């Protein structure tokens, strides 16, 4: 019997059985979540650096610089605002890439994982609205006046939602009334981006932080309950 147990032990301790130990630990522990979180942060940081140059490339391909001096000057200042917002976004995501390591001691890692993702994404999106809407909206308003909304929407989304916009057909047709409301809201947002941009951005930060903290509370309660 002892000989049989020794054979079983030898087999179960062989590489054929133990090779799965490391992969299973990665899945069962917080290692997988740390890897995914770091990967998301790195990808978002990289996209933040690429975004301003993708806008520059699209604007050049559209022949935007043929529209006149005031449009060129307005674009330069708006693009600098976009670049500044994306640079801040890069720093935000890059600094957060290792933050998830502190959750390794938690028994519940999925809730903190989604909590931090929601909070960081909300901070990033809110920052874009605040900087691009505030600074970019101000510069476009100074140089282009009532055409500032159309210029911003064209640069950011490739669709003119401002005065004289010709691309209403690109809006999802959910019904005439809803389309009119949708179109009106978009015009309002872009036309008054200098005011509404920061307001919407702050609102996004607060809402994302609220949802994030709710998830943190659930995780804290679960951890404390398990210790009792």
Percent of the chain scoring above 90 in pLDDT: 23
Mean pLDDT highest for which of 72-76, 123-127, 182-186?
Answer: 123-127
171 within some domain: yes
Pull the structure tokens for residue 47. 């996209």
**pLDDT band, residue 168 (cuts 50/70/90):** very low
Number of structural domains (the chain) is 1
Pull the structure tokens for residue 65. 């610089």
Mean pLDDT highest for which of 5-9, 76-80, 160-164, 182-186?
Answer: 76-80
76 within some domain: yes
Helix axes 69-96, 137-144, angle to 10 degrees: 180
Min mean pLDDT across 13-22, 36-45, 83-92, 140-149 is at 13-22
**pLDDT band, residue 25 (cuts 50/70/90):** low
Is the pLDDT at 100 greater than 90? The verdict is no
68 within some domain: yes
SS3 labels along the chain: CHHHHHHHHHHHCCHHHHCCHHHHHHHHCCHHHHHHHHHHHHHHHHHHHHHHHHHHHHHHHHCHHHCCHHHHHHHHHHHHHHHHHHHHHHHHHHHHCCHHHHHCCCCCCHHHHHHHHHHHHHHHHHHHHHHHHHHHHHHHHHHHHHHHHHHHHHHHHCCCCCCCCCCHHHCCCCCHHHHHHHHHHHHHHHHCHHHHHHHHHHHHHHHHHHHHHHHHHHHHHHHHHHHC
6 within some domain: no
Task: Output the pTM of the full model.
Answer: 0.73
13 within some domain: no
Question: Mean pLDDT, to the nearest integer, of 155-182?
Answer: 53
169 within some domain: yes
Which position has the higher pLDDT, 157 or 26? 157
Are 215 and 147 in contact by the 8 Å Cβ rule? The answer is no
149 within some domain: yes
Which residues span the domain enclosing 223? 41-227
Which position has the higher pLDDT, 155 or 4? 155
28 within some domain: no
């Amino acid at each position: 019997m002892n000989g049989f147990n020794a054979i079983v032990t030898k087999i179960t301790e062989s590489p054929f059985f133990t090779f799965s130990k490391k992969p299973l630990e990665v899945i069962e522990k917080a290692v997988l979540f740390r890897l995914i979180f770091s990967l998301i942060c790195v990808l978002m940081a990289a996209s933040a650096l690429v975004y301003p140059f993708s806008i520059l490339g699209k604007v050049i391909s559209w022949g935007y610089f043929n529209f006149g001096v005031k449009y060129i000057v307005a674009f330069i200042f708006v693009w600098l605002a976009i670049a500044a917002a994306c640079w801040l976004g890069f720093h935000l995501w890059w600094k957060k890439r290792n933050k998830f390591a502190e959750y390794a001691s938690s028994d519940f890692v999925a809730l903190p994982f989604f909590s931090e993702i929601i909070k960081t994404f909300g901070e990033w999106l809110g920052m874009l609205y605040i900087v691009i809407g505030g600074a970019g909206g101000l510069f476009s308003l100074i140089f282009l006046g009532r055409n500032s909304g159309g210029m911003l929407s064209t640069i950011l989304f490739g669709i003119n939602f401002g005065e004289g916009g010709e691309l209403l057909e690109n809006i999802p047709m959910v019904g005439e009334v809803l389309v009119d409301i949708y179109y009106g809201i978009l015009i309002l947002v872009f036309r008054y981006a200098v005011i509404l941009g920061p307001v919407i951005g702050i609102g996004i930060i607060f809402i994302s932080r609220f949802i994030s903290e709710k998830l943190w509370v659930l995780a804290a309660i679960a951890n404390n309950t398990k210790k009792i």
